[in-house]
Amino acid sequence: MKIKAQISMVMNLDKCIGCHTCSITCKNVWTNRQGAEYMYFNNVETKPGIGYPKHWENQEKWKGGWELKNGRLQLRSGNKATRLAKLFYHPDQPEMDDYYEPWTYDYETLITSQRKNHQPIARPRSLITQKRMEIKWGPNWEDDLAAGESARQDYNLQNIAEDITLEFHDLFMKYLPRTCNHCLNPACVAACPSGAIYKRDEDGVVLVSQDGCRGWRHCVPACPYKKVYFNWKTNKAEKCIFCFPRLENGLPTVCADSCVGRLRYMGVLLYDMDKVKEAASTPDKGEIYHSMLDIILNPHDPEVIAAAKDAGIPANWLEAAQNSPVYKMVKEWQVALPLHVEYRTLPMVWYVPPLSPITQRAEADVYLPAVQEMRIPLSYIAELFAAGNVGVVEKVLQRLLDMRMVMRTQETGEKLSRKLEYELETYQAMYRLMGIAKYKDRFNIPAGLTGESQDKLRELQGSCGYNCPGGC
């Protein structure tokens, strides 16, 4: 057993209102500079839709993530020889049009215009070429347009056997916030020829060394979520850094801190590094989710605690893991699911699937309706969060329904008509965390570096060039 600690996040999609506050705060903090205009480390998509960049879920096109070939795990982009042949030219790169060409407006015309018979116009101007342009696409182009033509092109709809229509009376949509998943088995790390992308040992954050990056751009198509970007100004790869300077001070990421709907939760997970490859190599893609649960360890287990201490995990990290809201929702209650687990990267950003379209069914005190009766089909949610395993989604949504029924009966005095999966205290704890949790309950992040990071910092003292306390 090789125990590692991972900072992880859960998003409750029932609470997302699509305000994009998380995107704007992240944009202003991390990508507000030349060369990064088109980058959105955090974006909010409307589903169904083709997303950002366009059709990012189509791995037949982008060759992202991992696949099992002859029983062995390998990158979809090919083996080492195939990738070496693409070293100087990788044909599977998304282009600027797949994202959008960033623009501003010619405000100088409004300011300097002389008196005229007609109102002056601030025309759009490209931030890349500085020339006038026609706006055809943008990062939020599909916002709230579930009935648009792009919704019918959603890649997840192509994998569903049922005939799902998008007529007005059958219309459904939901918001999907996306950021880098800081995976346990990141394809971007494996694909980088120069070894510039690495996973931090102390907290699992995946970063790009700007000194080590040589601009090969193999990481961009290798990431199945398309959350690695190429800076056209610096010729370097960039991605979400999980706001690691904030994490080191015990603060959540900017996107989580600024979330209006309070739908994000952050905490520590302990996992067995020795089982990561085995979990990613699960033959049945519908069972990868269960394999992921198996490698997440119980921080209250005395054996796990002893092994974690032997591995050098500090006491404050162990305490944070024991009080982690992420562990409760992911492993203890099992109400959060990973996004596109079939990519086999083992993502560490989890989602509580939306329940709001079927809450009226709870009034009748029945189990989940059939797919044909639901506003958001179970099969569609399963394509997003369970590799098509509808049974997993059914169980998660039933737990959420049970939680609402328990809390309603406490107000009305009614009796529950069926046996529940968990104890009443468990559903009450779920309600407190998912419904009325305060800031300190949603975020439990240990401040400070781990012992190994502190040792590395001491080695750098006197030569690192930073004003570190007691050195440098």
Residue 19: both structure tokens together: 């305000």
Contact 189, 197 (CB under 8 A): yes
Q: Which residue has the higher pLDDT, 285 or 470?
A: 285
* Portion of the chain with pLDDT greater than 90, in percent: 66
Q: Structure pTM?
A: 0.90
Q: 123-127, 401-405, 441-445 — which is least confidently predicted?
A: 401-405
Contact 183, 280 (CB under 8 A): no
The pLDDT value given to residue 410: 85
The pLDDT value given to residue 377: 83
Whether the predicted pLDDT of 361 surpasses 60: no
Residue 200: both structure tokens together: 């931090």
CATH code at 1-101+129-460: 3.30.70.20
Q: What confidence tens digit (pLDDT) does each residue in 30-62 have?
A: 998 899 999 999 999 999 899 999 999 999 999
Whether the predicted pLDDT of 164 surpasses 80: no
Give the confidence band of 409 by pLDDT, cuts at 50, 70, 90.
Answer: confident
Give the confidence band of 171 by pLDDT, cuts at 50, 70, 90.
Answer: confident
Q: What confidence tens digit (pLDDT) does each residue in 243-288 have?
A: 999 999 999 999 999 999 999 999 999 999 999 999 999 999 999 9
Residue 412 carries which side chain, given as an amino acid letter?
Answer: T
Give the confidence band of 172 by pLDDT, cuts at 50, 70, 90.
Answer: confident
Q: Domain-by-domain residue ranges, the chain?
A: 1-101+129-460
Whether the predicted pLDDT of 208 surpasses 90: yes
Q: CA-CA distance, 431 to 299, in Å (whole number)?
A: 22
